[in-house]
Amino acid sequence: MQAQPEQQEQQEIEPGQAIRSIGVRDLLAAAWAIFVKDLRSELRTRYALNALVLFAASAAVAVSLGVGFIGMRRTDEYLLIQSALLWIALLFAALNGLSRGFVYEEETRTMAALRLAAPAISVYLGKLLFNLALLLLLDTVTSLLFIVLVRVEVGSPLAFVLVLAAGGLCLATATTILAAIIARASFKSALFAVLAFPLLVPPLIVAIQGTALTLDSAGMTLALPAIRTLLAYAVAMFVASLMLFRFVWEA
């Protein structure tokens, strides 16, 4: 390794190149860069992926072997129980994996480098995108496992997918800001659970009831209020997070 002579130091980067006003496109492009970086890191470390998939698989297998819905009549209670079990599996898998974005940055001490380089809003959007991608995967894997192993029969597939997506949005928006808050705390898991409880229980109740309706053949009409409520919750949480995140990030 040779130190380079001073003449070769004069590279083409202009001094003070980063000093300029930042527009919305810049913020979104920076958020995309953070998302891509997190995705690349995740594919190499499997820090969250393994936990999410293993938890989903364990839950589906345990429910399948332990409860055994075969032969039971498809009453309203039966559908509610199946729906509740599905969302409990999704919730705990999400709580296991979705704090990864910020906690990993803190544990590997890369938070300071990111803080100096990236606008706060881009960090939040990038991490939210990453959590949404993880949750999409988690939703898909868990529901397929439940359909196969727990014999969940979906009466209205489109409504089922929409309720899952809307509930997933709620989980992702809430857990992203919570992860940012707890990242520098000493007892991360305990604090995450305590803070998540009041934020996630309301949308979870709506998601369980909405999903139960989609398992019946009642279809979209009956599930629509649940989908609307979940989307409204996700939007409210997203807007609140946008306003709050800068203070959390710079604290």
Which residues are at the interface with another protein (CB under 8 A)?
1-4, 6, 8-9, 11-20, 22, 26, 29-30, 33-34, 37, 40-41, 44-45, 108-110, 112-118, 122, 250
Taking the C-alpha atoms of residue 111 and residue 123, their distance in angstroms, rounded to an integer, is 10
Which amino acid, one-letter code, is at 20?
Answer: R
Which amino acid, one-letter code, is at 100?
Answer: R
Query: Residue-wise over 171-183: b if at least 16 C-beta within 10 A, else e?
Result: bbbbbbbbbbbbb
Smallest separation, CB 166 to another protein (Å): 30
Which amino acid, one-letter code, is at 128?
Answer: L
| Token reading at 227 | 């989908």
Q: Residue 17 or residue 186: which is nearer to another protein going by CB? A: 17
Q: Residue 102 or residue 160: which is nearer to another protein going by CB? A: 102
Smallest separation, CB 76 to another protein (Å): 48
Smallest separation, CB 96 to another protein (Å): 20
Taking alpha carbons only, the member of 251, 128, 137, 240 closest to residue 183 is: 251
Q: Residue 71 or residue 250: which is nearer to another protein going by CB? A: 250
| Token reading at 234 | 């996700």
Q: Residue 23 or residue 71: which is nearer to another protein going by CB? A: 23
Smallest separation, CB 26 to another protein (Å): 5
Smallest separation, CB 189 to another protein (Å): 23
Taking the C-alpha atoms of residue 89 and residue 57, their distance in angstroms, rounded to an integer, is 9
CB atoms within 10 A of CB 38: 23
Taking the C-alpha atoms of residue 113 and residue 85, their distance in angstroms, rounded to an integer, is 41
Taking alpha carbons only, the member of 44, 33, 235, 207 closest to residue 130 is: 33
Q: Residue 34 or residue 162: which is nearer to another protein going by CB? A: 34
Q: Residue 46 or residue 228: which is nearer to another protein going by CB? A: 46
Contacts of 161 (CB under 8 A, 6+ apart): none
Q: Residue 13 or residue 70: which is nearer to another protein going by CB? A: 13
